[in-house]
Chain A
Amino acid sequence: MATSLTPPGPAAMAAPAARRRRRRNEPDEGGRTNWVGTALLILCSLTVLIPLYFTVAMALKSAQQTASGTGFAWPWPMHFDNFAAAWSLTNFPRAFTISLLITVFTVAGLIFLSSAAAWAIARNWERPLFRWSYFYLLAAMFIPFPVIALPQIKFTSILHLSNPAGVTILHILFGLSFNVLLYSAFLRSIPYELEESARLDGATTWQTFWKLIFPLLAPMNATVGIFAFLQAWNDFMMPSLVTANPQLQTLPVIQNIFQSQFSSNFNVAFASYLMAMAPTVVAYLFAQRWVMTGVTRGAIKG
């Protein structure tokens, strides 16, 4: 994070170097297997798996089955009607759609706006306007949402943005600093000669960006996209404070109805929690390798 304050630096070099080393490490997979380590890690993985198992088990129980015992026992027979109840109580399709819209627009907005801004800054670094814009955007990394939440939410309500659109705008603006930084680091590893030859062939600035730079940024787009997706989809603080109408709340925020009105029926609540978790967990399990590379790239650059 600190490197980035001095833009032209060697940070971009780190990634290829790490990759090279990893390749060198690969052959010694043939050595002795660490069975104790494997056993310990399997044991530790229970800390992740037990809460998830518990959620599934609770979601499949009837109220009577929950009344006796700790909730850990697997229910027999299983009750799938909890899901139907949760579906209609939370109005799942609506909450899901709102979460999805916020997430899609946040991801797209962050990828396009930060990559274009980072490129414009990188190519005009010698101009004070661009250089100072960079530091200006970066300074916001020191401003967490709670610090400006009060005036900001008053402001969004004045602009009639106390709704998912306002949440999207704020997600984009709060993500901007870090992502401009990530893109700036990555842009340094793209040789300028490529752009020069595109220019000689008569490409305009926009064409150079869209046809040449943006595709070259693909790995970083993936990283930024994954972070933006997780942040926008899972966030509770911002939508719960910004969106005024409870009917327009996101999937994680809508779960709070089980804390008050329907607190007697835990099983329906857990069915609902499971439905709220499932989309990201399933998406992650399918795209695991891709997500891991993307997140690691962000971690190294950051």
Chain B
Amino acid sequence: MATTAATRAQRAKTQAQPEVTFPRKRIESAYLIMLLPVVLLFTLFITVPALVGLFYSFTNYQGYGNWKFIGLTNYRALFSDPRILSSYGFTLWFSLVTVIVVNVVALALAIGLNAKIKLKTTLRGVFFIPMVISGIVIAYVFNFLFSTSLPALATTLGITPLENSILTDSRFAWMAIVVVAAWQAVPGAVIIYLAGLLAIPSDVYEAAAIDGAGAWRQFRSITFPLVAGYVVINTILGIKGFLNVYDVIVGLTNGGPGTSTFSVAMTIFTGFTSGDYAYQMANAVIFFLVTVLISLLQLQLIRRRGVSL
């Protein structure tokens, strides 16, 4: 390290480039003080636990007491565990549906908020409120709405299918989770879409209108292609968040009814108490790989589309 720095410094001096922007001496201690403690803490609290966890995933460690290596047994068991498989199924399905719902709603809202409307500031203000509310608290509120108010309302109005709480029906409970997760995530996506819409010059629309393009045609041929890059950003950010869904489920169903809405994160956390620490750690490793795989697939998608973020 020191030698390379020294040779670099010499080279810089001898070549005497006119646009050398800073003197290449040895590394100043101030810079090291700014960087190294951060890197050190990071290693201690993130990298080390990650490696320790990976290590234990190859053992039969229960979270306490003795342990021994059992190779890939945990991993093999994971793939035939219905509880694990259903948690992945639920989490992936939930993420996919929610990201679609959020993008459709957010794009529609952003186009509306970007149009020549009255009360623009007030409406924007209202639509962004969900962003600042705690997920668990709003989930508790919706819990009561879904389990008590909605059935009561349905009974009064005579809508029989909704007379029972959707949270206790394993066929519909996931939809309630999608609704609340989307309620919270839409504002963030709207902000990104608004940034995208503002970047479209208005003369493009004027030209299209002169050529006789209607509102739908303008959306399909101008707006959508021009915000496609932002759709990709929102999809990536959205899926990244939704895969780790936890707060909203704890507030609404706590995984139930049965285990129908148990997310992967919730399943991993059972490793704290159930004595299958190593097993859930193997689950966490697989979850990490799934997350990375999905991210890489999405990055591939960006490259192919040639979207510049």
Contacts and interface: CB of A to CB of B under 8 A. Distances in A.
A interface residue count range (under 10 / 10 to 19 / 20 to 34 / 35 or more): 35 or more
B66 to A, nearest CB: 16
Nearest to B288: A147
A41 B117 contact: yes
Interface in A246-261: 251-253, 255-256, 258-259
B123 A41 contact: yes
Interface in A115-168: 116-117, 119-121, 123-124, 126-130, 133, 136-137, 140, 142-156
Interface string B88-120: 000000000000000000000100110111110
A127 B127 contact: no
Tell me what chain B mostly uses at the interface: helix, strand, loop, or mixed.
helix
B126 A137 contact: no
B123 A127 contact: no
A11 B309 CA distance: 8
B140 A258 contact: yes
The 9 A-B pairs of least Cβ separation, nearest first, read A205-B30, A234-B134, A151-B53, A146-B265, A120-B34, A151-B49, A116-B34, A236-B136, A252-B134
Given A18-B198, A292-B124, A117 B34 contact: yes
B31 A38 contact: no
A173 B37 CA distance: 12
18 contacts: A24-B201, A40-B112, A48-B129, A49-B126, A117-B35, A120-B35, A127-B5, A127-B27, A145-B244, A147-B285, A147-B291, A148-B46, A151-B56, A241-B269, A269-B140, A295-B191, A296-B194, A299-B192
Given A33-B116, A70-B149, A116-B35, 6 more contacts: A54-B149, A136-B39, A140-B42, A147-B53, A148-B49, A299-B188
Interface string B239-252: 01001101100100
Interface of A: 1-3, 11, 17-18, 21-22, 24-25, 28-29, 31-35, 37-38, 40-42, 44-45, 47-49, 51-52, 54-55, 58, 69-72, 113-114, 116-117, 119-121, 123-124, 126-130, 133, 136-137, 140, 142-156, 169-170, 173-174, 176, 192, 196, 204-206, 209, 230, 233-237, 241, 251-253, 255-256, 258-259, 266, 269-270, 273, 276-277, 280-281, 283-285, 288, 291-292, 295-296, 299-300, 302
A25 B309 CA distance: 22
